[in-house]
Structure 1
Amino acid sequence: MYKQECFKIFTKKSIYLVFAVIVLLLVYVNQLPISMTMREDIFEELEETWGGPVTEEKVELAREAMYASDSGEVYTNTFEARATDYVQFLVVGSAMQKAEQHDRMNILEEQIALYNEGTYEYKEASKELEMLEEVGDVHGFYLIQSWLEMFEFIEPVTHVLILSIILLIGLTPVFSEEYSSQSLDLILATKHGKAKLVTAKILASITYIAIVFLSLHLINTILNLVKFGGAAGWNAPIQGISEGFDTHSLISYDSSPYSMDVWQFYLLSLVLQLLACIAVGMLVLFLSFLTKNTMITFFISGIIMAIPVLLQQLGITRGIFSYLIHFSYTELIKVSSMFTQFRAFNVFGYPVLYPTLIFILFAVITSLLIFVTYDLFRKQQVGN
């Protein structure tokens, strides 16, 4: 039965059409010219001088060089000179981020001194301070351009919506198409057929989600490794992932309180995003069973995914709408954005980190959706 359900999903031509379009878009985007790929030899030389965590000596030298460049004392029209200016800019910027982190830690220490030990404010400030102390002084210049672009495929809303579309196309018919099949009544009439059918559909859907998800990320990873000449910077801290000034990236972990290397964070993001996609898939299956109509399921699922984005675009982000945005399926899939800054919520007087809370919440929601789907399908009568 599992193989049959997989066959039903993977034989839909629309899936391959959409997948091909997405892959072509990825190839096209990766072919767009950029001023610096950081795979040039000059950057390896610059990394030897400026790479790693910033120091007072590096910052002072960088500022002197930038001043000489701005005043016209040195010739800056060559690629090597522009690359050097860029790296020195990143070094100075990293020093500012390091100073901001220290300022934040000082503020937290002052807050801890003011609050009583048992209060939520004390616990929250203590937790953030502890995390920042674990991060330490890691801000600096790292050659991690390929990783920056790979994270770009996880985070932006446009990519999340694209991923959602291909999931919806494959999963919206999973239950609804059964109601036009003459074999459904036969399955419903059997003693154990109902539970086995739901299990087979869920497992087939998870298989589809995993294959599509991993395939897209594998293709994107290969394209970026080729474009940027490898996976340099895999052991750099995530605080080194900065948007810089010559990129359209919106990804920046300068202020992240999470202590992780880039490769660790990338694997964590992939695992969490895959789980998020499975949560979306279970929602789609539930709606497919309820509506018994593919188009209605697609429409409702699309609205659920799009509403948080629309609220943000309209600037409606306060009060209850803030919770609708932060605890939505769209934000769940945008995994990497959860780790850009410290964010905790008061749960029975204890600060629970946002990534932990949202995944616990949706684990409960997904479990309930699966349970209700089983229960409703078990009660489904022949001929309904």
Structure 2
Amino acid sequence: MKKSDSTLRELVRFEFYKLLQQRFLWLLLLVILIAGLYFSVQRMGWPWADRVNTGFEGELTSEMIARAEAGSEAYVKKTDPTAEEKKQNASYHNVLEAASAYDKQSKDVSLLRQEGEEASTVYEKRQLSLQADLTEAIDYRPVGNYQTFDQLLTFSGTGGYALLAVVLILGTAVSFSSEYQTGVAAYLYSSRHGRKQLLTAKLMVSIALVTGTILIYNLVQLLCFFRGHSGWEIPIQAAYVNSPYPLTFAELYGISILYQWVIAVSLVIVLSFLSMLIKQTVVAVFLGGLIVGGPFLIETVLFNTETPDFMLNLMKFTQGQALSVYVLFREYVTVNVFGYPVLLPIAVLVVTLITTLILIKLMYRVIGRRMA
């Protein structure tokens, strides 16, 4: 066994130990998790969340549509419908919406292709052609109860975002700054363990923490709110009407977990690097909060209906907003790369990975020369 490996394990255990001593961090995470679950319970308690889907889930059929139309007409005539009838009507609505979207699909694709042929620039032609291809690939035929999966995605962008924000700001952003505040930075930087091993240990612990956070809250959500399997194959357009992506709720849920993990890890790198350079814990926390939550604050306070689209789309490239993930998939946005349209989620992922790799290399160079 190499001595360096043993030393790294010791440093990792030490970093975990210090993290476990941060009682306020764990208390705040617990409070946010409970609040997120309460929000989920409230949301799943909406009348249309728990549907009566018997006979109205699976592949669309003409017989299913006919029964939904008859049921919807009968419901309109009721003066005082019961809660059960309201839920049943939600199933009728779901079937009829899917049928309408399925009928319109070919017309929408044809219109996009026609607009592409009439476009004045090569980029617009390519952009519209890509949108037409995506729209044509959507399968509107599966119907059923998608509310559980819609809830899981919503929580990823709200409760999950809040949990990761706390971990990143109070855990990662102060990983080095706290060493300065406690006066042990001089020892750590001159330690026989080596500065690069110290950095590696801190990064490993922070990445393990965000990974565990993502896995735990998704597992809790699935255990608490997963209801049957009918929602796996439903297209995300049931909730994101303007999205052209031919994804099911299950596919988007899986992608969102992967994207959120990659973006969270990139934020670990960014905030760890800042923490290396900042000796004041309060400043580190402030800047960490600005990086993670600043994009949403700017969008809420400064942006309005007159804000140009390119500014709104540029904001999605910030790791703070991209951490919500679902904002990348809810509508069609492309980025012009040498005259070719690149889908926003792909562009954000590529930029995030490139930035992360560059920062990692820079961090190890800086830590090798860093003095307390």
Same fold (TM over 0.5): yes
Matches within 5 A, 1:68-83: 68-72=74-78, 77-83=81-87
Q: CA deviation at 1:231?
A: 3.6
> In the superposition, relative to structure 1, how do residues 320 and 140 fare at CA in structure 2: closer, same or farther (>3 Å)?
closer
Q: C-alpha deviations, 1:40-90, integer Å up to 9, x for none?
A: xxx242xx2x32344555445433432333244xx7623442222221122
Matches within 5 A, 1:163-174: 163-174=164-175
Matches within 5 A, 1:1-384: 1-32=11-42, 33-38=45-50, 43-45=52-54, 48=55, 50-55=56-61, 58-72=64-78, 77-115=81-119, 119-136=122-139, 138-139=140-141, 141-156=143-158, 160-180=161-181, 184-189=185-190, 193-225=194-226, 230-239=227-236, 242=238, 252-314=239-301, 315-316=303-304, 317-318=307-308, 321-381=311-371, 384=372
**What number of residue pairs does the alignment pair up?**
357
Taking the aligned partners of 1:278 and 1:363, their CA distance within structure 2 comes to 10
Taking the aligned partners of 2:242 and 2:101, their CA distance within structure 1 comes to 7
Name the residue aligned to 1:245: none
SS of the equivalent of 1:334 reads: coil
Taking the aligned partners of 1:207 and 1:127, their CA distance within structure 2 comes to 38
Taking the aligned partners of 1:146 and 1:319, their CA distance within structure 2 comes to 31
When structure 1 is superposed on structure 2, of 60-69 and 171-180 the one drifting more is 60-69
SS of the equivalent of 1:152 reads: helix
Taking the aligned partners of 1:162 and 1:188, their CA distance within structure 2 comes to 31
Structure 2, unaligned runs of 5 or more: 1-10
Taking the aligned partners of 2:265 and 2:211, their CA distance within structure 1 comes to 8
User: Which residue identity is paired with 1:98?
Assistant: Y
Structure 1, unaligned runs of 5 or more: 243-251
SS of the equivalent of 2:157 reads: coil
CA contact (8 A) 2:48 2:86 kept: no
Q: CA deviation at 1:290?
A: 1.4
SS of the equivalent of 1:214 reads: helix
Q: CA deviation at 1:199?
A: 1.2
> In the superposition, relative to structure 1, how do residues 57 and 109 fare at CA in structure 2: closer, same or farther (>3 Å)?
farther
Instruction: State the TM-score, normalizing by the size of structure 2.
Output: 0.85
Q: C-alpha deviations, 1:209-257, integer Å up to 9, x for none?
A: 11122222222222213xxxx34225313336x3xxxxxxxxx233433
SS of the equivalent of 1:352 reads: strand
Name the residue aligned to 2:5: none
CA contact (8 A) 2:142 2:234 kept: no
Q: CA deviation at 1:184?
A: 3.7
> In the superposition, relative to structure 1, how do residues 362 and 152 fare at CA in structure 2: closer, same or farther (>3 Å)?
same
Instruction: State the TM-score, normalizing by the size of structure 1.
Output: 0.83
User: Which residue identity is paired with 2:129?
Assistant: S
